[in-house]
Amino acid sequence: MSSPIPFANGQSSGDPSSDQEVSSDPKQSSGDASSYHKEYFKLKEAYLKATELYSGASQDADKLCDELKATHAALGVAQQEADQAQGKRATTKEEV
């Protein structure tokens, strides 16, 4: 699944397993760098999950909005038909 947010140059495709190792500060010890990489991938995984959930929720909201618009249109048509029927009844009663 692609993220709705475009990635800038140097950012990943979204698959944590396919990412290149993040460059670390050469002054850091290897233990610090390893800890940094673990934290980076943990945060990245959470970010990807959040964007996936947002995308799904956004699609659901769009569907609900479309359904609401269709229902509103149907109610408008039903109201027009009811008004026309009521007008015909009033005309028929006046003729009698």
Spatial CB neighbours of 58, under 8 Å, sequence gap ≥ 6:
4
**Is 4 part of a structural domain of the chain?**
no
**Is 88 part of a structural domain of the chain?**
yes
Look up the domain containing 81 and give its range.
28-95
pTM to 2 decimal places: 0.47
**In this model, does residue 19 exceed pLDDT 90?**
no
The answer to whether the CB of 3 falls within 8 A of the CB of 14 is: yes
Number of domains observed in the structure of the chain: 1
**Is 38 part of a structural domain of the chain?**
yes
- Kindly indicate the confidence band of residue 28, based on its pLDDT and cuts at 50, 70 and 90: low
**Is 22 part of a structural domain of the chain?**
no
What are the pLDDT digits (tens) for 42-62? 999 999 999 999 999 999 999
Instruction: Round to whole Å and give the CA distance between 87 and 96.
Output: 15
Model pLDDT, residue 87:
86
What number is the average pLDDT over the span 71-78? 96
